[in-house]
Amino acid sequence: MILLLWACTPKPTELPEPVAEPAPVGALTILHTNDLHGHYLPEPADWLDNRPSIGGFVRLDAEVDALRRDRRDAVLLLDGGDILTGTPLTDLVVGGAKGGAMLQFLDLIGYDAWALGNHEFDKGLDNLSALTATSPIPVLSSNVLTPDGEPLLPHQKRSDIFEVNGIHIGVIGATTEGLQGLMSRQDFARLKLRSVADAVREEVERLDPDTDLIVVLSHIGVEDDRALAAQVEGIDLIVGGHSHTRLTTAEQIKGTWIVQAGSYTRSLGVVDLKVEGDAISSFSYELRDLLPETAPGAASPEVQALADRYEAEISKVYNEEISQATAVLGRSYYHESALGRWITDVLRDTTGADIGLYNGGGLRADIAAGPVRVLDIYQCFPFGNHIVTFQFTGDEVMRIVNGNMAAEAHEKRGFLSMSGLSYSWRLVNGAPEASNVKVGAAPLDPAKLYTLTTNTYVAEQWEKHFGVQPRNLQILEQTDFDAAVAWARKHPVADPSDKRAKRTE
């Protein structure tokens, strides 16, 4: 009887799982980063008091996950290019290519697309082809093509269409037209580079009938983003990169919004908009600094584990303390710097050359006062450029002096740090004029043949840096990074302090 009563007792009603409400009709959030450069761990934020270390992929993943929940998955996550070069992570061979670890992170965090940046070519075109061949995420560029006009790389697209919350979003890639001067000559000869404006205009016209919103995912720099917005109609939003610009307020030019999120995974751009009738009806923007104390929760176990694994692997090699820096060694694009003096002295000491040279754009980080690790040297010279020697006459060396004076006088990029070469200069009727030009302790001899040393990038881009082709070029097996580490193991890292370009007024 008892069993019978139990069998007849009704089962408790099971409540259905709560169903999350869908995102409002037409609502869309576009999250964006740019110029990650392999910075997967927190990095100093030089715009904040006391330069706290913020960001990194663990912190980013937590923020993105919280925003996806809050926006009910009406989210598109994009990156504006230059995922490579900057930390040892991008030198690890993962999935058959250097840089593969970055794609692992982008995939786990859930990026929808990334733009092709110029630094993607740093490890060579063959490596980049191997990298994109395994990319689970589309890489976009409408203007970097084969000589036949097709996308250059495996899994590269000119553009792509994403459907989010019923909205069809056309995303068009664009890569800087300065690519020729930012990659090896041999690799550049294997591609065709189109005008950004022409390539994007064609994609806008092709995508417009099938989309509600058109976004350009650009790696061309904020000034060129502004020009593109003025030149090409039909772009709703430009998500930028290349210039490392922290746009804390979105700009609008001729109906096109422009955003960019700084660099090094320290900030996340958050665009909230509503699309009605094939147009943006409301728009708001926030650039969120990824502070540790504002984290909305933990990252996924997978992202945390991947970060921990690579940090441990890299630390075994790069956290070795090898020297002491007696002061901060800073850098500059427009005039000589402590770091520039130091590395050119290192190159000249390594090769025995009369003159050492180094490009300002190749100095990628400062060296802080105090202990110096292998990693600190790597962050200054991450490109793996080999040391070269070559010869110039004194007349040709004078072209370098003239170029340096012009760069310093007008604060334009192009200044070459120097060792063994010195001069004084002043402005005369608005034009720079040199005096007391010396190589070592002796006056520059216009007819004498001098031996110079620099890195392979500067030598390959001789038109831009010298205006005359180096003669008797020799490429050493040693890289600039190798030479700097070897020197630092034997000496304190100090500013040589002897000024080489002396302005006399």
Bridge partners of 75?
29
Domain 322-503 has CATH 3.40.640.10: no
Considering the chain, what is the average pLDDT of its residues? Answer: 95
Say if residues 41 and 77 touch (Cβ distance below 8 Å). no
Q: Which residues contact 487 (CB under 8 A, 6 or more apart)?
A: 346, 349, 350
- DSSP designation for 420: S
Per-residue pLDDT tens digits for 330-358:
999 889 999 999 999 999 999 999 999 99
Please report which confidence band the pLDDT of residue 4 belongs to, taking 50, 70 and 90 as the band edges. Answer: very low
Distance CA 53, CA 65 (A): 21
Instruction: Of 6-10, 26-30, 100-104, 369-373, give the lowest mean pLDDT range.
Output: 6-10
- Mean pLDDT calculated for residue range 37-58: 96
Per-residue pLDDT tens digits for 114-167:
999 999 999 999 999 999 999 999 999 999 999 999 999 999 999 999 999 999
The pLDDT of residue 3 is 39
- Mean pLDDT calculated for residue range 283-311: 97
- Mean pLDDT calculated for residue range 42-58: 96
- Mean pLDDT calculated for residue range 452-474: 95
How large is the angle between the packed helices 222-231 and 196-207, nearest 10 degrees? 50
Pick the CATH number of 27-313 from 3.20.20.30, 3.40.50.720, 3.40.50.300, 3.60.21.10: 3.60.21.10
Q: Are strands 321-325 and 370-373 parallel, antiparallel or unpaired?
A: antiparallel
pTM of the predicted structure, to 2 decimals: 0.88
Backbone torsions φ then ψ of 487, nearest 5 degrees: -70, -45
Distance CA 372, CA 370 (A): 6
Bridge partners of 217?
173, 239
Task: Note the maximum CA span of the chain.
Answer: 118
Following CA atoms 498, 500, 504, 505 in sequence, which dihedral angle do they give, to the nearest 10 degrees? -90
- Mean pLDDT calculated for residue range 254-260: 98
Q: Which residues contact 411 (CB under 8 A, 6 or more apart)?
A: 334
Distance CA 500, CA 415 (A): 12
Please report which confidence band the pLDDT of residue 22 belongs to, taking 50, 70 and 90 as the band edges. Answer: confident
Q: Which two tokens stand for residue 430?
A: 């608005």
Backbone torsions φ then ψ of 244, nearest 5 degrees: 60, 35
- Mean pLDDT calculated for residue range 421-427: 97
DSSP string, 239-288: E--SS--B-SS-EEETTEEEE-B-STT-EEEEEEEEEETTEEEEEEEEEE
Say if residues 325 and 403 touch (Cβ distance below 8 Å). no
- Mean pLDDT calculated for residue range 24-32: 96
Domain extent listing, the chain: 27-313, 322-503
Count of CB atoms situated within 10 Å of the CB of 83: 30
Per-residue pLDDT tens digits for 183-225:
999 999 999 999 999 999 999 999 999 999 999 999 999 999 9
Q: How many helices (H) and strands (E) does the chain have?
A: 14, 30
